[in-house]
Structure 1
Amino acid sequence: MQPIPATTMDIDTPGFSTIDSSGLNKLVRMKDQKWVRENGGIEGIISALETDVDNGIHGGRADLDARRKAFGSNFCPGCKPRKLFSCLVLEALKEPLIIILLITTISSLAFGILKNGLKEGCKEGLVKLSAILAVVLVSAGAELWSLRECIDLSDFSSYLPQVDVLRDGKWKPMSICRVVVGDIVFLKPGDQVPADGLFIEGCSLQVEKTKIDGQIELVEVDGHEDPFLFFGSTVVDGYARMLVTAVGMNKKNHAISIKGTIVDETKHLTSVVGKAGQAVALLTFLVLLARFFAGGIHDEHGNRVSFGGETKILDALVAIVGLIATPAMIALTATPEGLLLAVKITLAYSMRRLRRAGVLVREPSLCHSVASVTTICMNMTGTATYDSKDVPKFWLGLNSIEEVPHNLIATNVLELLHQGIGLNTTQPPSRLLCGSPQNSTEKAIFEWAVKHLGMDVETLKGNCTILEIEPFNSKNRQSGVLISKNADNTIHVHRKGAAEDIIPTCSHYYDTTGIVRVINKNTKVLLDQILEGMAENGMRCIAFAHRKTSIRDYFTFSRQQLILLGIAGLTSPRRAGLRSTLKDCRRAGVNFKLITGDNILTAKAIAVQCGILEPNHKPEEVVEGEEFRNFTAEERLEKLNNIRLIARAIPSDKVLMVECLKQKGQVVAFLGRGTGDVQALREAEAGLCFGTQGAEITKASSGVIMLNKEFPLLVDILKWSRGIYESIQVYTQFLLTATFVSMVLDFFMAVSASDPPNFDAMVSVSAGKVPYPVFQLLWIKLLLGILAAAALVVKKPSEELMHQPPRKQNEPLMTTLMIRTILTQALYQIAILLTIQFKGQSLFNINGKEKDTLILNTYILCQVFTIINARLFEMNTLEEIMKKKLFSGVIGLTIGLQVLMVEVLKRFAGTAQLSWGQWGTCISIAAASSPIGWLVKSISASEKPYFSNLTWLQSKTKTD
């Protein structure tokens, strides 16, 4: 098939008139083999899409625009900010409290205009309506900010999987969003299938696909039985080239599901407090109703109101409806809805700061799990060490290459080394290009061979034809390639893998002169010494073996007959800051276990360098994978705490270690990098990985991705996760204190008054007045929600968190100390406020309106000091608080707005002006909560928490 000339592609825009686009879109979705045959098979579809197997599409701007116009683009846009904001505004308007305030405010506005005219009747109503809308907009804005950070952090704006795409004869890595219909894509283990498409050619391709029920199944894809590849699947084995047939809205929908987040874990607590508020509201209504029937209530003229006598039934019903107003407001204001918003704000702020540091948290719920992590298991390659590798040692037989220049190596041996290194790789195949492989191990050896062995990749590709490739498998730890030498049509097999696995399959070896020699006992001893010397220096040993064969004998010959070509020793620098990070994490109660496929000598050398093992470590701290697997279940659990290193491990050993740790009650995080870590990442409570490049399946299986690849980020992740939980506890303590005080105060104020505040609700509305203190309700809602959340949860976690042990995974949100603090502060505030309610007029020589203002002012200032107390105890000094600009700004704004409401907006807010002495009294009462808080703090809390039913949702969902 001839490639399309560039001039044609640029001048004559492709029209794709010979292809049925609707059938093409449904092709993979319907698995329509018949449609493929009717359109000339895969070759016919490739031709109709004006692409080329060996060159791909041209990829010019006109070509790409034409393809996107004809078949759509692969972009995945999310919800537009404006549309999302409008939705959040509507959600805020649906809140029961806002609905009631809007209805009564609009009704009073209408009646006011009818009675007093447009100019006089709308002044107060419009101001109050504007206040309601302002609070709605502020609430929606805060919600929008938190959602923009928290919702679907795995979307393509933050995390862009990449694949290798063939365009204009060159393989180019690009994000899946840039893929178009007609593209030829190369898939290798760990890649995500970028769009729906068809299998062209490949070897042993297996993909992982998520079914509708969420279960994962393995599917083998080939060019005959099942050539269909679905968007979102991930390659777990083999390699292939695919043709993209559907993108964007036309591809099969495999949307990434969002797991339940920590936001859901507060719903139980919110529900409990809301039900308590409803109970108080019901009790209030019953008391008022009983008093009404008993004739214990007076109307606005001072006349006794009762059910009976001259009271008309309609008037009685109107009065009963008026009685419902106060209990309804108690029920509406008692539910701590601000708790949910505070959790979202906490997550949003924390994950934003982590992202600035180079950490992408794709699953917000992980913040809860990471705070409880007690053990971190990690792979070595790409985790404890960097991906980059070097080849400081290469042995040809029993000779070191450093001592023998490559031009003195026999020609036939040098040619075989070029074949074994240059062709035994998994890389994008092309007749026009043979580039460096992407695997870090293969790439290091490949580049070393070009530099030190004079390997010419273009000549090599032209001299040989690849017949079959066996990709590297982490179980047998080796790969192979079957090639035909074009000059004489001889068939050769090359194998590459861990030296301890390849060398036992070799019966002979090449020396530098090209002579094949037998591997006898003495030779075996020397080879073992070579391997041991490199391993003790922390080198990974990769061996190359060869055998001339035939197609028939390839599948039957014994692999013990291979001939050893050489042994490469690779080193990887360990990550910067690894030792100090391990030390900080151990201080925080987090242990580490290293699990690697390297031999035991290499693994021990690197573990000692990293600080996981001490130079004089105990023998029981190191085991090999086979030994670990052969332990009985009881033996594994018994030896588990002592094991720090597992060498020569296979992927199932990593999963087994995670499972055993979980059985012992540990909370496990797995830090991985390659495809062999995928199952362990999924099994662990928290999956973490390094880097933006590499196996996409690994990143898809990880909830946390460390983008800048620095190990100290692990400390930041642990600290911020613990800080999130601590911030939510602090805010919960504040909000429950304020809510409890409000409920009790509203109840006593309602049932103690001879004329309930909202008994004449309908009369007030018809008179053009709002029966509810709109400004006061909105101000309290704003303070307890957004302002308090900004002051208490938008903060960096303290360093002290990393000197404490991990929190228990099933630890309830409400601790003993929190319960005691809430009750003490609430009882103090209730006692003071009720004293003002019943004795305030006589004590301070004030009227009823001034008394109500004094109660409101004291209540607000008490909450301000509750916020200050929470941060004061945390920071220890007032100077530290003053350094926090946001915190100081929120406190200043709160006090300023309270002064404005009392002293300036008293007409609209329903308040009375207070004297300097009265302000001083309010401040003194509120400030007295600080020594009370110090006293409670000084009493040691009991280890056993109360209210164990108020746990986070994680324990609840497990039972569900």
Structure 2
Amino acid sequence: MERLMSGDFDVKAKHSSEEALQKWRKLCGVVKNPKRRFRFTANLSKRYEAAAMRKTNQEKLRIAVLVSKAAFQFIQGVSPSDYNVPAEVKAAGFDICADELGSIVESHDVKKLNFHGGVTGVSQKLCTSVIDGLTTADSDLLNRRQEIYGINKFAESQPRSFWVFVWEALQDMTLMILGVCAFVSLIVGIATEGWLEGAHDGLGIVASILLVVFVTATSDYRQSLQFRDLDTEKKKIIIQVTRNGFRQKLSIYDLLPGDIVHLSIGDQVPADGLFVSGFSVLIDESSLTGESEPVMVNSESPFMLSGTKVQDGSCKMMVATVGMRTQWGKLMATLSEGGDDETPLQVKLNGVATIIGKIGLFFAVVTFTVLVVDQPTNAASLVSEMPVSAVKLLLQSIFNNTGGEVAVNKDGKREILGTPTETALLEFGLSLNGDFQEERQAVKLVKVEPFNSTKKRMGVVLELHEGGLRAHTKGASEIVLAACDKVINSNGDIVPLDEESINLLNGTIDQFASEALRTLCLAYMELEGGFSPENPMPVSAIEGPDFREKSLEELLQLVPKIQIFNEISSREMEEIDVFKGILDNYVFVVVIGGTVLSQIIIVEFLGTFANTTPLTFAQWFLSVLIGFLGMPIAAGLKKIPPARASSQVEFTILSSSSAQLTDKLMLPLCDAV
């Protein structure tokens, strides 16, 4: 079959003529061999269309080249025979100017090149030799050559300053929305709470925006500098040239018109030039013209353009024009004038980001509206659902058993003073339509039990106008709940606190605690038969439910960690000298130093923002001294040998006692701060 097709029908295995294939199709309607069916089913009409399109494109390209040549000659307005050497070029010792050299190479004008005597004639007018190259003996001639023809460097745009990157970072839609929110927050906060108190949230948002902007701008600016340095290093290309009759290495930035450059496969043409000698030279001009087919360069077509690459062969080239007068330099100048256009992908991504920003803004407005509108509704519904007696007792406990105060400032606006916890409780009481002054005047304070670290609660005893005494307490949920035996249900009735209710309340407390929320429990008791300040109140363990459920071994590892000033002592659990090698662990030193520095900043400088009061030198000294007392206690505890299980129990009890002792010494001072 193979012999039949190749011999009788002239159908080759590859690259058969279209006439042979058409003849084969006429004789054989269906080819039985699948391989032949696949190979000889080319669409001849498509081939004809492609060939016609190639011919049309070639004709258009030829016409465009001829038109450009005609236009160039028309613009110059003179014939090659009328060329006159400029006076400054002739005074410098040369017989051809840079513009004339550029026009020869750019237009590939062989006639004009022959008018100047070909490559050899141009070299003579440039005062160079195609064999020995330039001579560097006369430094004045080199300087004049550089002044007349320029240097082989491209004009680069000025690097963008840091503030340009800051401005670009500010154009982010999310940051714009946050900026509007910060402005609104500042106006609303200052109008409602005054300058110092009301500006915290707005200034916090502004600080966050500035932090994001400057971090982004700094990162982009550093990357731009790195890319610029990398681009500079990439452009430092070393080539081989002939000067003074010797072949030597030279940077492309030092090239001058008249230099003889040696090029081989893979080299980039450093400047526009003329072919001197070589073999089988193919130049890839796709970077300039977009044409994928390589261009043959020889003595008949000796023109070589900068930015192109040698695809095959090797040659010697005489440099004609350098720098911005080359084709590559003109292309870079044109691209720089056009600016940085966004790619289609960047346009689409920016569109998606804009849509997401608008959707996020819409939902933010809806959420804000729902929260603002729904907050009074929730407060009103809570008051309507709770029994009147329970609401009255709750308001009485909140407004009397507190260390905060609800005052009216000089502008007639209500202002809540106190710790964040007390402020939150007072705001809750006010949301229940409570009146702070009215509740205070309705009763008489008999006894106030302030908060302390041992009882973990605070309480007051009130004398009611209708007679009788009532005690209100507030504190840690586990402690107060353990002291209660009754609860007010949803109907306002007082019922016993059974096991199921206790488990439900403990589950609620654990759920809030797992969400990093602080829980408080409010309770009251009617005092009958007189009042004694020493009335007992059941107190459970102060460590919390998770602490009580741990085993003895877990407690032995956990107790040293809960001591306030025990970071250094617990660094080496079995060593007496805990300072040995402390500077070797830089992480530990940084953490301790950062903790101390942050505490000093919070106490001394943040003031109202952190709800702190600056300490005197004596108070700082006392604080450090009290904290230091834990270290000899820890050293003494380490002396106790853990030989038996009973010793471990005794060690645990002593460690816990030392922790409680430290709390007793420190917490009153912390409360004072």
Q: TM-score range by the shorter chain?
A: 0.3 to 0.5
Structure ID, larger Rg: 2
